[in-house]
Structure 1
Amino acid sequence: MKTNQAKKRESSQQYKVIEEAELLPFLLKNMKKNSRNSVKSILTRGQVFVDGRSITKHNYKLHVGQQVEILSNKTALNESMITGLTILYEDDAIIVIDKEAGLLSMAAKNKDEKTAFSEVSSYVKKQNPKDRVFIVHRLDRDTSGVLLFAKSEEVKMKLQDNWEEMAKERIYTALVEGNVKREKGTVKSWLKETRTFKVYSNPTDNGGQLAITHFRKVRHNQRYTLLEIELETGRKNQIRVHMEEIGHPVVGDKKYGSSVNPLKRLGLHATSITIVHPVTAEVMKFETEIPSAFINKAL
């Protein structure tokens, strides 16, 4: 993330702070031609810089003499990228990102390897060296999409301890092999991981974890099907195992039965998550665009 911008960018607006205020009210006062929702979106997308530093907190405290700059959406997109991810939303309690495929969520064996956790942690420390982040859930290295972080251990525990109630909806998009005949369906089984770290599915309780996956066909051709998948439970490798079980493995997933790799990556994307905010109790939905390569392969 670029944190120091010495000169005014093209396609930007600048305002001088003449009295102390919180950032969102300041923007609403100075951007009267924009609706409240529009201003909030501009702030959330990372288009607002204070003294050259990207700020997304609505209640960020402004001081007299500071410079506030609002970038055009295109310029902001170019500057809001951290390696391998984009910040979708941030407040005092949580950070939501869009993770690229190929980036580990955390805990890399190679200590020098960048992870989503290390990148987000570095980002918050640039704003305040004492700030920390805590990962709430994980995505496989080769799965892209929405990933949630907490800004305190208390918030992390509240989310994790009540995950089934707090996570109202989790939607994924999967590109799978073959033409799935059913328009929609549900896979229910018990999943158990072996010592070789492969997860196996069993139709009856084998001492593993109950896993329930709902799927809906979006589009297809004879080679591939694009599925919208809703998780009722969130087990390790759940979607990948269940897609293999119905005879249509996720493309690029050699571990779970795929023999093709047309995307040069795993055909799995965490499209959206709807949660109850751990502090405000507001129901919030965070979503990303489905990778165009997924859609094109199923045309």
Structure 2
Amino acid sequence: MFSGVVPKLPIIYQDEFLVAINKPHGLLVHRSPIAADADLFAVQLLRDQLGQKVYPVHRLDRKTGGVLLFALNEEMNSFMQQQFQEGKVEKVYHAIVRGYTDDSGIIDYPLKKDDGTIQDAVTDYKTLQRSEMPFAIGKHATSRYSLVELRPKTGRMHQLRKHMAHIFHPIIGDRPHGCNKQNRYFKDMLGMDTMLLHAASITFTHPKFQKGTQVHAPFNPQFSRMINELDFNWIGQPDKA
């Protein structure tokens, strides 16, 4: 997806200490042994684009788009890492999921790490809009979808993906936690081959200026197209923290 022409990353916030991009779906944050097919990475692309070293202060899955924040020096990176570790950074995501979700809810469901360790994991969610489409998938003549706002209260690997699957509303395009029938339909019939999870905003205290800072990322093209395909008309921003 990102081989060949080197893309210019969209910068949505920048000062002399921090920079944030709107990460495209499908772009890895950094090199990973489990993604040997990739040859472009956000860290290297942004470094070359700015002409200086950058430090990712958090991570996004390869197929997740949206706000990705970097520090521009080691001291700032340490300050931001500390805020994340202390739970002082608020992240808001948007997702399109299968079925009609409740108006709001709290998912309190511990998750297991690869080494077997059990970790507490909590996610708040709110339904922004619902849609029913004439997609005959499986035994049903129509398919229902929800556009949801997700606020993770903990930062576990694949937390949002696993939590939405746990309440039987998997994120469209999620593999392996999602619905294979839905994913196949979206790929074959709608030409959509990503995961519909978007990091919409991040809120933190700027370590240098000591003031609340919030960075928003607009939907990437694939997400915007699916918003239209599914007749969602919601174009707002997440609530202010």
TM category (shorter chain) comes to 0.7 to 0.9
Letter in 2 for 1:216: K
The answer for the alignment partner of 1:148 in structure 2 is: 69
The structure 1 segments of at least 4 consecutive aligned residues displaced by more than 6 Å after TM superposition are none
Distance 1:229 1:284 in 2: 19
Alpha-carbon distance change, 84 to 103 in structure 1, aligned in 2, over 3 angstroms: farther
Query: Using the alignment, how far apart are the partners of 2:111 and 2:231 within structure 1?
Result: 29
Deviates more, 1:209-218 or 1:259-268: 259-268
- By how many angstroms is 1:207 displaced? 4.1
* Distance 1:151-1:274 versus aligned 2 partners, 3 A rule: same
Does 2:131 correspond to 1:221? yes
User: Helix, strand or coil for the counterpart of 2:80?
Assistant: helix
Measured in 2, the distance between the counterparts of 1:84 and 1:211 equals 35
Q: TM-score, length-normalised on structure 1? A: 0.63
Maintained 8 Å contact 1:250/1:268:
yes
CA-CA distance at 1:163 after TM superposition: 1.2
Q: d(CA) in 1 for partners of 2:8 and 2:41? A: 8
SS in 2 for 1:105: coil
Which structure has more relative contact order (CA 8 Å, sep 6+)? It is: 2
Distance 1:112 1:140, change over 3 A: closer
Instruction: Report what 1:9 is aligned to.
Output: none
Instruction: Please say if 1:92 is aligned against 2:13.
Output: no
Q: Is the 8 A contact 2:87 2:154 kept in 1?
A: no
Alpha-carbon separation, structure 1, partners of 2:38 and 2:165 = 34
Residues 112 and 248 (structure 1), Cα distance of their counterparts in 2 relative to 1, 3 Å cut: closer
1:196-250 deviations in whole A, cap 9, x for unaligned? xxxxxxxxxx842211101000111232111011111111100000000000100
Contact 2:113 2:119 in 1 (8 A): no
- Give the equivalent residue in structure 1 for 2:141: none
Shift of 1:292: 1.7
The sequence identity of aligned pairs, in percent, is 34
Deviations 1:136-176 (A, max 9, x none): 10100100000000111111111112315574421000101
SS at match of 2:120: strand
Q: Secondary structure at the match of 1:256?
A: coil
Q: Which has the larger radius of gyration?
A: 1
Match 1:163 to one of 79, 84, 103: 84
Q: Which residue of 2 aligns with 1:133?
A: 54
Partners of 1:256 and 1:287 lie apart in 2 by: 27
Write out per-residue CA displacement over residues 42-86 of structure 1, whole angstroms, 9 at most, x where no aligned residue.
xxxxxxxxxxxxxxxxxxxxxxxxxxxxxxxxxxxxxxxx71631
Partner of 2:45: 119
CA-based RMSD: 2.1
1-structure distance, mates of 2:173, 2:218: 20
SS at match of 2:128: strand
Partner of 1:269: 198
1:161 is paired with a residue whose SS is helix
Counterpart CA distance in 2 for 1:100 and 1:248 is 24
Structure 2: runs of 5+ lacking an equivalent: 1-5, 133-143, 187-191, 233-241
Query: How do 1:46-125 and structure 2 match up within 5 A?
Result: 83=7, 85-109=9-33, 110=36, 113-125=39-51
Map 1:252-291 to 2 at 5 A. Answer: 252-259=173-180, 260-261=182-183, 262=186, 263-290=192-219, 291=223
* CA 84–250 in structure 1, closer or farther in 2 if over 3 Å, else same: farther
1:167, 1:273 within 8 Å by CA — same for their partners in 2?
no
Is there any run of 5+ residues in structure 1 with no aligned partner, and where?
A: 1-81, 126-130, 196-205
